[in-house]
Structure 1
């Protein structure tokens, strides 16, 4: 389980995250909603050790990880899939996966790669090709696969459907649900609130760097302020 308690992050004099608390439990998808600038991506980056934490606690399986180097946090079992996928375009699909498993013993990494290929058959088909030649949806699957190579307990996903063709969005979010169902805890920032709520178990809403709503996906769908902000007034009577 990932536990975030009263997290605060500043860029100079600007406090980007102001006392956010959230959690992600194994086998569950926790969806993070919020407008641009609400502090969503900064929260994920702080948890992953990529930006300094001003104050607050982040615990992975009960152990504090604030201040640990990012590569050690990966070894501890937490991995970030960044916005924009960030695959290594000149490298092959398989080379990208190998890099994702650098913390694991070789035999375990090979076994995990077979699991990734079973989950995303297109990656097996394209394993010898350059990652940069994949479609946006295929690159997102590669980004998921690369993260899975470290056998994480917790995955942080930053805007997994951003920039994808509508036909690919449901497939990508379906893969998110499948990863959670395998027992991984997922904390997911997602711009497509309606589809995000379909796969989510729990929801956190951020506004101006603060968490203004915690609850189940069902509660979020019935909470008027959440519905108006992310689904539109029509959803209140739909």
Structure 2
């Protein structure tokens, strides 16, 4: 289990995250909702070792990984799928996957690659093509596959549906559900709340850097604090 407790992240005088606490359980999707600037991405970056918090802790199965370097966080089994996919466009699909599995021994690499190709057949079909020539949805599959190559126990996903056509979003988020069902814990930031709620087990809503709701996905759709996280008090009062 990944445990984030009383996390505080600051950029200069701006406190972007103020006391966020949440858990990520194996085989479950924890969805983080909130307006732009609420502190969602900063929470993921802190968990991935990319943004050292000023206070609080990140623990994996009880071990403190709060201030480990990002590559050491990956070796522990926590990997970030970044916003905007960030594939290496000039490299081939196969080369992108190879970079994701750089820590794996040969046998484990081959077995993991076979599983990735089974889950995302398009990556096998386009293995020798440049990653930059893939469609947006295919690049997101490559970003997932690259992360899976590190054999993660926890995947941190930042806006996986961003910029994708509505017809593609459902298939991408269905893959998120499939990865969770394989035993991986998923912590996902997603602006498409309706689609995200369809695959989530647990929901955390953040507003102004603080958790305003934490509960099962079935309760989130009608909860006032979740609406406030997106719309603000004034908009909610006018509903």
Match of 2:221 in 1: 221
Q: Which residue of 2 aligns with 1:180?
A: 180
Shift of 1:199: 0.3
* 1:189 and 2:192 are equivalent in the alignment: no
TM-score w.r.t. the length of structure 1 is 0.95
Q: Give the deviation of 1:209 after TM superposition.
A: 0.5
The separation in 1 between residues aligned to 2:178 and 2:229, in whole angstroms, is: 28
Aligned residue in 1 for 2:150: 150
Q: Take 1:143 and 1:48, find their aligned partners in 2: how far apart are those partners?
A: 16
Q: 1:128 aligns to what?
A: 128
Change (3 A) 1:228 1:8: closer
Tell me whether 1:103 sits opposite 2:99 in the alignment: no
Contact 1:193–1:230 under 8 Å retained in 2:
no
User: CA–CA distance in 1 between the matches of 2:61 and 2:97?
Assistant: 26
Task: Describe the SS at the equivalent of 1:123.
Answer: helix
TM-score where L is the length of structure 2: 0.95
Q: What is the 5 A alignment of 1:11-160?
A: 11-160=11-160
Q: Distance in 2 between matches of 1:126 and 1:15?
A: 43
Q: Which runs of 5+ in 2 are unaligned?
A: none
Q: How far is 1:222 from its partner? A: 3.1
> For each residue in 1:97-138, what CA deviation from the matched residue of structure 2 results, as whole angstroms up to 9, or x when unmatched?
000001111210111011000000111100010000000000
2-side partners of 1:114 and 1:164: how far apart?
26
8 Å Cα contact 1:81/1:156 also seen in 2: yes
Q: Distance in 1 between matches of 2:198 and 2:141?
A: 19
Q: Secondary structure at the match of 2:80?
A: strand
Distance apart, 1:225 and its partner CA: 3.5
Residue 224 of structure 1: how far off its partner (Å) = 3.0
- 5+ long unaligned stretches in structure 1: 234-238
The answer to whether the 8 Å contact 1:158/1:188 transfers is yes
CA distance in 1, matches of 2:224, 2:42: 26
The CA deviation at 1:204 is: 0.3
In 1, the alpha carbon distance for the partners of 2:226 and 2:70 equals: 33
Given that 2:33 and 2:229 are in contact with CA atoms closer than 8 Å, whether structure 1 keeps it comes out as: no
